[in-house]
């Protein structure tokens, strides 16, 4: 059989999904690194360890390179996500009058673009609060990162916003992890598929919960509850 | 089991032709036997419409025993209606309550344009098949049993994939109107068996390219297709197609130029 039809990988539907999957899994791994650093905030040393870690992150060239990679991953994931959402909406120009999506799929698998958009808003605010204000632009000289973090999270509303964003992240990961692995073609065996789904659910619960724990701890500590 | 008789209202999408504006029309039906299939109920509706001098509702049907893949309509928000692993022709009126209001719509997808009422053009599936969903040479008549050793799980997977009847419920139910389950079933059942393996790289590339050209959406792995498929085609076929496609694209055969 001659090859009658073929298109470059990344312009094919599977290629587009591949880009989503690879960047999505990469960003999930990034979460682990970010979380490890955050957990230093729980050390009862007035922020010495965390500030040392922040200084290291600021001065290490390999970290700069990986930050650029993470940034590129976010940009590709977001742009491709928006493109796919638009393309998929175009694939059904006329919708159904009655459509029971809940009968055949989970709501968080159907609302990835919604959770993704909320996470993008969170990401912009989050980057501004810490990365831009204190690391890149140094808008408040004299305030170390630990103090800035404690100040931010002693605000009930800021912490609440963070926790809500982590709940949204949980739903995004609950579908995202298993979806990415499916796109890579690693879920042929039903037992493997179930195992990966469970790993995805575990990650989706544990990672955002660990992230949310830190601001909640700071909030309660500054309110004198601990 | 004695038949019950129910009264229902059906709200059906009426569209006189492919370029015409469509709208919903509501009809009342009395004394519908619960032993009737959904299509038989539509037959009764059409007789009623003809007696009234109105245009009957056009819908696709052929075997009416759940294996041809002709019938297909969105019934109360579900592809082929509320019962799992069931085509519209095998759906019976006992699934519905007396007095129920049933909304009947055609498959909705850019790649499946409505021709008339509930009939859509599923030619896109034929063109995907024509792009590579076959074995190019005559492989002879059925070989003797066990002449070509094929592991039992492989033959089971191939057989399950070959059960696809091409009805289009996967596309209809998918929030992205993606045809991945259909195409992956066709790719899988051929790629798993020795007769189909020779061409598997070219096949998957051509079929995916044709699928994309037809204007189907991009799979986001919600699993709606698998849940609504009347033949229970598994999502693992999509994983297999992704793997087949990526390995065909990312590796080179020794004699590839």
Chain B CB within 8 Å of residue A93 CB: yes
Domain ranges of chain A: 10-91+107-222
Residue B21 structure tokens:
């504006």
The partner residues of B26 in beta bridges, in order of sequence, read B11
pLDDT above 90 covers what percent of chain A?
A: 90
Contact check, Cβ <8 Å, B218/A92: no
Residue labelled with tokens 């009930």: A156
Long-range contacts of B46-49 (CB under 8 A, 24+ apart): none
Q: Which of B152, B131, B216 is nearest to B179 (CA)?
A: B216
CA atoms within 13 A on the CB side of A36: 6
Interface contact A90, partner B, CB < 8 A: yes
pLDDT reported for residue B252: 73
Reported as a pLDDT band with limits 50, 70 and 90, residue A3 is very low
The answer to whether the CB atoms of B177 and A92 lie below 8 A apart is yes
All domains in chain B, ordered by first residue: 5-105 (3.10.20.30), 122-250 (1.10.1060.10)
Q: What is the mean pLDDT of residues A31-47?
A: 96
With CA atoms as reference, the chain B residue closest to A4 would be B206
| The pair of three-digit structure tokens given for residue B157, joined into one six-digit string | 């997977």
| DSSP conformation class of B36 | S
CA within 13 Å, CB half, A51: 13
> Torsions phi, psi of B216, nearest 5?
-75, 160
Residues A105, A107, A109, A113: what is their CA dihedral angle, to the nearest 10 degrees? 140
Residue B215: what are its φ and ψ, rounded to 5°? Answer: 90, 20
At residue A2, the pLDDT reads: 42
Tokens for A82? 């928006």
Q: How far apart are CA A64 and CA A70, in angstroms?
A: 10
- How far is the C-alpha of B225 from the C-alpha of A164, rounded, in Å? 31
A46 to chain B, any CB pair closer than 8 A? The answer is no
Asked if the C-beta of A191 comes within 8 angstroms of chain B's C-beta atoms, the answer is no
CA distance B184 to B187: 5
CA dihedral for B154, B156, B160, B163, sign (positive or negative): positive
A210 vs A171: CA distance, rounded Å = 15
pLDDT in tens, chain B (257 residues): 567 999 999 999 999 999 999 999 999 999 999 999 999 999 999 999 999 999 999 999 999 999 999 999 999 999 999 999 999 999 999 999 999 999 999 999 999 999 999 999 999 999 999 999 999 999 888 889 889 899 999 999 999 999 999 999 999 999 999 999 999 999 999 999 999 999 999 999 999 999 999 999 999 999 999 999 999 999 999 999 999 999 999 987 666 65
pLDDT score for A94: 97
CATH number of A10-91+107-222: 1.20.1300.10
Contact A18 B246 (CB under 8 A): yes
A5 and B209 within 8 Å at the Cβ level: the answer is: yes
- By C-alpha distance, the chain B residue nearest A107 is B222
* Contact yes or no for B108 and A96 at CB 8 A: yes
Number of DSSP helices (H) and strands (E) in chain A, helices first: 8, 0
Instruction: Residue A35: count other Cβ atoms within 10 Å of its Cβ.
Output: 16
Instruction: Name the residue among B222, B107, B42 with its Cα closest to residue A113.
Output: B222
Q: For every residue of B88-119, which 3-state class applies, written as one string?
A: HHHCEHHHCCCCCEEEEECCCECCECEEECCE
Reported confidence tier of residue A159, pLDDT bands at 50, 70, 90:
very high
Q: Model ipTM?
A: 0.93
């Amino acid at each position: 059989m001659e090859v009658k039809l073929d298109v470059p990988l990344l312009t094919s539907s599977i290629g587009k999904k591949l880009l989503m999957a690879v960047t999505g899994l990469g960003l999930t791994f990034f979460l682990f690194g970010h979380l490890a650093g955050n957990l230093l905030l729980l050390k009862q040393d007035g922020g010495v360890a965390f500030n040392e870690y922040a200084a290291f992150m600021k001065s290490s060239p390999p970290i700069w390179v990986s930050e650029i990679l993470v940034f590129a991953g976010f940009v590709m994931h977001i742009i491709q996500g928006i493109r796919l959402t638009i393309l998929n909406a175009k694939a059904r120009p006329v919708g159904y009058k009655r459509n029971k999506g809940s009968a055949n799929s989970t709501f968080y698998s159907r609302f990835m673009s919604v959770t993704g958009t909320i996470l993008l808003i969170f990401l912009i605010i989050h980057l501004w609060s810490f990365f831009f204000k204190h690391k890149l632009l140094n808008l408040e000289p004299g305030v170390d990162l630990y103090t800035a973090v404690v100040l931010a999270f002693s605000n009930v509303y800021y912490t609440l916003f963070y926790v809500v964003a982590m709940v949204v992240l949980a739903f995004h990961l609950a579908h995202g992890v298993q979806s990415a692995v499916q796109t890579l073609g690693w879920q042929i065996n039903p037992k493997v598929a179930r195992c990966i789904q469970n790993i995805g659910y575990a990650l989706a619960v544990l990672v955002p919960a660990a992230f949310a724990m830190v601001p909640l701890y700071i909030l309660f500590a500054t309110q004198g509850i601990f | 089991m004695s038949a019950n008789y129910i009264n229902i209202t059906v709200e059906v999408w009426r569209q006189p032709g492919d370029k015409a504006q469509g709208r919903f029309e509501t009809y009342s039906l009395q004394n519908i036997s619960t032993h009737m299939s959904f299509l038989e109920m539509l037959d009764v509706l059409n007789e009623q419409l003809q007696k009234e001098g109105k245009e009957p509702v056009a819908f696709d049907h052929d075997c009416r025993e759940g294996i041809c893949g002709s019938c297909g309509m969105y019934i109360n928000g579900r592809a082929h209606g509320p019962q799992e692993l069931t085509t519209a022709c095998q759906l019976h009126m006992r699934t519905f309550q007396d007095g129920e209001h049933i909304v009947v719509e055609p498959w909705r997808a850019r790649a499946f344009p409505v021709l008339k009422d509930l009939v859509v053009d599923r030619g896109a599936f034929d063109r995907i098949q024509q792009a590579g969903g076959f074995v190019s040479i005559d492989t002879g008549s059925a070989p003797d049993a066990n002449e070509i050793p094929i592991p039992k799980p492989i033959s089971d997977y191939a057989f399950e994939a070959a059960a696809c009847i091409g009805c289009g419920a996967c596309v209809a139910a998918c929030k992205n109107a993606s045809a991945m389950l259909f195409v992956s079933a066709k790719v899988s059942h051929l790629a798993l068996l020795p007769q189909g393996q020779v061409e598997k790289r070219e096949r998957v590339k051509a079929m995916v390219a044709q699928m994309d050209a037809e204007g189907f959406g991009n799979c986001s792995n919600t699993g709606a297709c698998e849940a609504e498929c009347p033949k229970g085609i598994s999502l693992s076929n999509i994983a297999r197609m992704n793997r087949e496609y990526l390995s065909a694209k990312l590796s080179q055969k020794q004699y590839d130029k």
